[in-house]
Amino acid sequence: MALRTLDTLPARLGGSLAGRRVVVRCDLNVPLKDGQITDDGRVRASLPTLNALIHQGARVVVCSHLGRPVAGDVTTLSLAPVAQRLSELLGKPVAFARDTVAASAQEAVAALGDGDVAVLENLRFQPGETASDGADRAAFAAQLADLGDALVSDGFGVVHRKQASVYELAQLLPSAAGLLIATEVDVLDRLTENPERPYTVVLGGSKVSDKLGVIEHLLPRVDKLLVGGGMMFTFLAAQGHKVGASLLEQDQLDRVRGYLQTAAERGIELVLPVDAVVAASFAADAEHVVAAADALEDTPFGASGLGLDIGPATAQQFAAAIRSSTTVFWNGPMGVFEMPAFAAGTQAVAQALTEVAGLSVVGGGDSAAAVRQLGFTDDRFGHISTGGGASLEFLEGKKLPGLEVLGWEQ
């Protein structure tokens, strides 16, 4: 079956959304510091769907999680700052309910007029949202369902989870995917089914074990696989190189050797770094040098040195491979981009993605945070995914319950 999209919803509600209470499950899980939002990318990503509903006269009830609240803590991770930012971006008042399904939520929803918006308090303040028992999730979903006439699911970052607002609620109310989820599915489907070639995947981040599924699923489908970040040292070690104190997953060496062999047999270019930035310690001001990939311990730091970024020759090589591709998917920074001394590799990869003539996709999570921190605007890329984990599981070919319940079949 095809994904049920937003344009199918009015017909199931008598032909119009005007006056209808539409619960919108967004992903407004933004980073906060001292109660202030430091990156509002996910809030902005929710705007097309919310504006579409507002323009149709729906009474919009926004719900989302924020962080991982400790049991009993209903203050630290409040969505109040998010509701305020959403009001600023929408250019209209947004009501905020101080609870999720109790009196404040019921009053806020009852007070909505056509085209109005209310935000409910953090879904994860309610244990039923993430309960392992399906009956507990269903009970909480029933409380949410009492607040709406329909559900628009638009939180792509949680579609790989069976959570009450994502899965059970979509079974209780007429439901459809929002514009954000529809876009994410379309883009990621293009990465797995007949992508335009040459097709390059760039993987970084700290651990190979985090990317096992996506490597196995995509390796036969790509023309080039570029490996950087902390995970590159496990690949280099699999080739027999010494990596000093760099991040190394000994238990993955045999599996990585298998990837190298598969790539060679299939004629796939599996491109590993030719150099790295090696530091004396894990610190922003640590002394550091550039070393060849086969000589990482031949530095003043010896076996205690640790690699914190791809080197300049590798950055140039990766950038050239990216620019020569028609389709590029990137997930995971090339180094410890939060420290300026070790951000050059990630900067080079991000810049190259902005120069791709075809489809360039930044795979959410740390990669999305990196490009924004390094000064790139979202519109310089073909697509920035809002769901790192969900994106990877989609590309691994896994079934995502939050999409299946909306009619999607991979």
- CA 133 – CA 139 distance, rounded (Å): 10
275 belongs to an annotated ligand binding site: no
Do the annotations mark residue 391 as ligand-binding?
A: no
Q: Pick the catalytic residue from 229, 365, 382, 402.
A: 365
Q: 68 labelled as ligand-binding? A: yes
Q: What do you get for the CA distance between the two ends of the chain, in Å?
A: 9
**Annotated catalytic residue 389:** yes
Give the integer Cα–Cα distance in Å for 352 and 361: 12
Per the annotation, does 27 bind a ligand?
yes
12 is annotated as contributing to ligand binding: no
| Chain mean position to CA 141 | 24
161 is in an annotated binding site: yes
Residue 366 labeled ligand binder:
yes
Is 134 marked within a binding site?
A: no
Is 25 labelled as part of a ligand binding site? Answer: no
The answer on whether 367 is annotated among ligand-binding residues is: yes
Is residue 33 part of an annotated ligand binding site? no
Catalytic residue among 4, 20, 21, 42: 42
Q: Which of 41, 115, 213, 389 is catalytic?
A: 389
379 is known to lie in a ligand binding site: no
CA dist 145 and 93 (Å) reads 24
CA atoms of 388 and 158, how far apart (whole Å): 10
Residue of 44, 190, 207, 242 marked active site: 207
Active site residue 365: yes
Q: Which residues are annotated as a binding site for substrate?
A: 27-29, 42, 65-68, 124, 161
Q: Which residues are annotated as a binding site?
A: 27-29, 42, 65-68, 124, 161, 211, 307, 338, 364-367
Q: Which residues are annotated as a binding site for ATP?
A: 211, 307, 338, 364-367
Q: Which residues are catalytic?
A: 42, 207, 365, 389
